[in-house]
Structure 1
Amino acid sequence: MTTEPTGAYVAPEIEQFIDGLPKAELHVHHVGSASARIVSELATRHPGTVPSDIDELRKFYEFRDFAHFIEVYLAVVALIRTPEDIHYLTYEIAREMATEQGLRYAELTCTPYTSVRPDQPDLGMPIEGYTEAIESARVEAERDFGLVLRWIYDIPGEFGVDSAEWTLEYATKHRPEGLVAFGLGGPEIGVSRAQFEPVFTAAREAGLHSVPHAGETTGPQTVWDSLTLLRAERIGHGTSSAQDPALLRHLAETGVPLEVCPSSNIATRAVATLEEHPIRAFRAAGVTVTVNSDDPPMFGTTLNREYAIAAHLLDLDEAGLAELARTGVRASFAPDDVRERVLDEIDAYVAGQIQPSAGQI
C-alpha cells in the first residue's frame, strides 16, 4: 500500500512537534506491528508464502478488502513459530516504537491462540514459552528503551467460541504480569458479539478490562452489543457509531473512548476516503477519541502519521495535539505512576522545558 508522507497533512513545524511529542498507544497489534525489516528477518528464518524481499513485501501488503487483509495477516502470523521468534518480534517492535514514534507507553494486542494453536498443536508453541518470551521482551524493552508495555489478549473471532475459551484459559491460568485487558478482533461480519458474553464476563471477574473491536466493518448494533453484553470500557474502531446519534450520545455521556485508526479504516475499505472519516463527527458529538495506528507497517503508516492525519481532519494546533496525547494516556490502563509521569512529560514538552528524544521517559 502506498501512502502520502506525513508532510502532506501538516506543516513542517507541526510534523516536528508530533515527532517529539511523548505519546501512548492503545490500539496496536503485536504481529501487525512487525515492520518490513522484522518480517523480512522472520521470512528468511522460515521461507514460504511470505516474501523476504522488502519491495515484494510492499506488494504483499496491498489489500483488496478486509477479508484479504485477514488472509495476509495470518500468513505473517504463520512466520512466528518459536518463542525465540516471539521474543525477537516483541523486542524489535518496542525498539521502533520508542526510537521512531516517541512512544512512552503502549498496550499491544496479542493473539496467543494463533501462536499456540491448540487446534493443531504441531503448528504451535507451548503457552508457557509464549508467555515467557513476551514478558522477557517487555522487561528488556523498558530497561533498554524506556518504553512501558502492557498486553491485551484478544480472541481471534474467526476461530469461534473455542478460541475464546482457550484465550480465557491463557489469560487466567497462564497470566503474564503485563496483562491488563481482554479483547476481540478479526472479522465482524457473521461473528456475533453475543456468543462471547460468558467469556468476557469471566475475564472481567478475573480483573481484566474489556476492549473489543466493534463497528469497523459492521453497523452500530455491533458497538451496542459490545457495550451491553461485553461491558466494553473502550471500543476498538467504532467507525459505524457515527451512523447512530443515540449511540454517539451514549458514548459521550459515558465517556467510553473510541480507539480510532484512520489509515487502517481506509486500507481495509471500512471508510472510502480520509475526508469522509467519521472522526470529525465523533469529536462534534463529544465522544472521547484516541488516535492509533492498528497494524502500522501493513497499512503503510506510523503513529506519528496518524497524529498528523488527526491534526488535518480536526484542525488541531500544537495545544490540540498535546491534548490528544493526554487523552490517550488517560484512557489507558497504565499504572498510576506511569500515567502521571507521561502526562507530566507531555506538559513539560509543551512548555518547552524539555526536548525529549525518542526512547526517553
Structure 2
Amino acid sequence: MIPKVELHLHIEGAAPPAFIRGLAQEKGVNLDGVFSEDGSYRFEGFTQFLRVYEAACTVLTGPEEFARLTTAVLERSMEQGVIYTEAFLSPDFCGGGDVGAWREYMHAMREAASRQPDIEMRGIVTCIRHFGPEQAKTAALCAAETAGDFITGFGMGGDETQGTQGDFAYSFDMAREAGLRLTTHAGEWGGAESVWQAVRDLGVERVGHGVQAIDDPALVDHLAERGIVLEVCPGSNVALGVYPDWRSHPIEKLRERGVKVTVSTDDPPFFHTTLGAEYDLLGHHFGWEDEIIREVNITAANAAFCDDATRETLLKKLEPAS
C-alpha cells in the first residue's frame, strides 16, 4: 500500500455515524432526521448536508468528546495507509470562539493525536463562512493565539455562496501575521471567480476543492504557474452534485494542465468513501497507477503545513521500495 497524505479533512465531518449515535445515546440527545434507516448520515444536497453536519455536532460538547473523536478519526485514516493528515478544526464548535475554551479543546485533540504513533496530525483552524466575517475574527484570534507546531494553518469552510472571499481578509491577515499558512474553500460552488478571489484577495497558497477553476483557462494557467495547490475531494464533489459522475470530474484535466492536485475525502462517512476508495476510483476512471498516486502524495507532502523535519520524514516514506 502506498502511504498517503491527506490535506482536506473536517474533524467533525469525519466522525463515524456510530460514534455520533453513541454520544447521542449517552447524553439523551434526540438526533431524529440525522440518520438513515441503515445508520448512515441522511441528507440531500449541500444545504441539508450543512444542517445535518451541524446537528451531529451538537453532541460534541466538550474536550473529552473531541479527544475521543480524534482517536476514532485517526484510527480510520491509518486503516487507509494515511501517514499524515491535516484536520480542519473550528473554534465555533470547540468552545464557541472563546480562546480559553479553545485551548482546552485543542490540547485534548493534540494529546489524542500524539498517542497514535503511526500517523502525524496537524490542525488548520477554520472559520465558518456562513457565520459571517465578524464571527470569523474570533476564529482567527483563536488560531493566532495557539499557532505553533500543532496548529499550523488557517482556513475557511461553510457555505461558499455567502459573501465573498475578500469579506474575510481581516481574519486571514491576522492569521498570516501569526505565522499560519493559509487555505480556503473555493471553486466548489462559487465558480472560477471564487478561486480568483481566494488567491487575489486572501493570498492563500492552497485552495480547498478549487475544481471549478477548470472553467477558466486563464485561471488554470495562473494556478499552474504560481504552484497553488488544490485540495481535491472527488467523491465529495460527486456525492453533493458538483459534478454528475466521476467521469465528469476535472481532476485529471487539471493535473494534465500542470496544476498541483492532491486527493482528500472531505467528510468521508457522509459521502460513503475512504481515501483508498478515492484512489481506486481514480484508477478506474482515469487510469491512475502507482506512479501517479505516489506523485500526488509527494505533492501533498510538499504542500503540507508542517515543519521541514516532518516533511522530510514523509517524503522518505513515500520513496518507492528499492
TM-score (norm 2): 0.94
Give the 3-state SS of the residue equivalent to 1:79 in structure 2: coil
From 30, 42, 53, give the equivalent of 2:11.
30
Contact 1:115 1:125 in 2 (8 A): no
Q: 1:309 is aligned with what amino acid?
A: L
More divergent stretch after superposition (310-319 vs 23-32):
310-319
1:206 matched to 2:187: no
Q: What is the CA–CA distance in structure 1 between the aligned matches of 2:73 and 2:33, rounded to whole Å?
A: 18
Q: Which runs of 5+ in 2 are unaligned?
A: none
Q: Residue 332 of structure 1 aligns with which residue?
A: 304
More divergent stretch after superposition (235-244 vs 319-328):
319-328
Q: Residue 106 of structure 1 aligns with which residue?
A: 85
Relative contact order higher in (CA < 8 Å, ≥ 6 apart): 1
Q: Residue 4 of structure 1 aligns with which residue?
A: none
1:48 matched to 2:29: yes
Contact 2:85 2:120 in 1 (8 A): yes
Relative distance call for 1:53 and 1:189 in structure 2 (3 A) is closer
Q: 1:141 is aligned with what amino acid?
A: Q
Give the 3-state SS of the residue equivalent to 1:112 in structure 2: coil
More divergent stretch after superposition (250-259 vs 303-312):
303-312
Relative distance call for 1:68 and 1:152 in structure 2 (3 A) is same
From 59, 75, 78, give the equivalent of 1:95.
75
Q: Residue 15 of structure 1 aligns with which residue?
A: none
- Residue by residue, what CA displacement relative to the aligned partner does 1:290-324 show, whole Å, maximum 9, x if unpaired? 01100001110001111112223331222222212
Q: Residue 168 of structure 2 aligns with which residue?
A: 196
Q: Residue 150 of structure 2 aligns with which residue?
A: 178
1:72 matched to 2:47: no
Deviation at 1:112, TM superposition (A): 1.5
Q: Residue 313 of structure 2 aligns with which residue?
A: 341
Q: Residue 115 of structure 1 aligns with which residue?
A: 94
1:147 matched to 2:119: yes
Contact 1:261 1:291 in 2 (8 A): yes
Relative distance call for 1:65 and 1:326 in structure 2 (3 A) is same
Contact 2:144 2:174 in 1 (8 A): no
Deviation at 1:25, TM superposition (A): 0.4
Deviation at 1:346, TM superposition (A): 2.1
Relative distance call for 1:193 and 1:57 in structure 2 (3 A) is farther
Q: What is the CA–CA distance in structure 2 between the aligned matches of 1:34 and 1:63, rounded to whole Å?
A: 16
Contact 2:147 2:178 in 1 (8 A): no
Q: Residue 130 of structure 1 aligns with which residue?
A: 105
Structure 1 ranges of 4+ moved more than 3 A: 51-59, 174-177
Deviation at 1:342, TM superposition (A): 2.2
Q: Residue 208 of structure 2 aligns with which residue?
A: 236
Q: What is the CA–CA distance in structure 1 between the aligned matches of 2:163 and 2:243, rounded to whole Å?
A: 20
Contact 1:189 1:218 in 2 (8 A): yes
Q: 1:131 is aligned with what amino acid?
A: M
Deviation at 1:51, TM superposition (A): 5.9
Q: What is the CA–CA distance in structure 2 between the aligned matches of 1:162 and 1:115, rounded to whole Å?
A: 17
Q: What is the CA–CA distance in structure 1 between the aligned matches of 2:173 and 2:195, rounded to whole Å?
A: 17
Q: What is the CA–CA distance in structure 2 between the aligned matches of 1:91 and 1:337, rounded to whole Å?
A: 24
Give the 3-state SS of the residue equivalent to 1:56 in structure 2: coil
Deviation at 1:341, TM superposition (A): 1.9
Deviation at 1:329, TM superposition (A): 1.2
Q: What is the CA–CA distance in structure 1 between the aligned matches of 2:111 and 2:238, rounded to whole Å?
A: 35
From 221, 230, 238, give the equivalent of 1:249.
221
Deviation at 1:117, TM superposition (A): 2.1
Relative distance call for 1:268 and 1:40 in structure 2 (3 A) is same
Deviation at 1:54, TM superposition (A): 8.0
- Residue by residue, what CA displacement relative to the aligned partner does 1:50-103 show, whole Å, maximum 9, x if unpaired? 3699863645x23311101100110111110011111110122112211x1111
Contact 1:135 1:176 in 2 (8 A): no
Q: Percent identity?
A: 34
Q: 2:121 is aligned with what amino acid?
A: L
Deviation at 1:33, TM superposition (A): 0.9
Q: What is the CA–CA distance in structure 1 between the aligned matches of 2:189 and 2:53, rounded to whole Å?
A: 17
From 223, 236, 240, give the equivalent of 1:268.
240
Deviation at 1:115, TM superposition (A): 2.7
Q: Residue 86 of structure 1 aligns with which residue?
A: 66
RMSD, aligned α-carbons: 2.1
Contact 1:131 1:176 in 2 (8 A): no
Q: Residue 12 of structure 1 aligns with which residue?
A: none
Relative distance call for 1:147 and 1:305 in structure 2 (3 A) is same
From 217, 221, 224, give the equivalent of 2:196.
224
Q: What is the CA–CA distance in structure 2 between the aligned matches of 1:116 and 1:43, rounded to whole Å?
A: 19
Q: What is the CA–CA distance in structure 1 between the aligned matches of 2:164 and 2:218, rounded to whole Å?
A: 21
Q: Which runs of 5+ in 1 are unaligned?
A: 1-19, 354-361
Q: 1:313 is aligned with what amino acid?
A: H
Contact 1:23 1:105 in 2 (8 A): yes
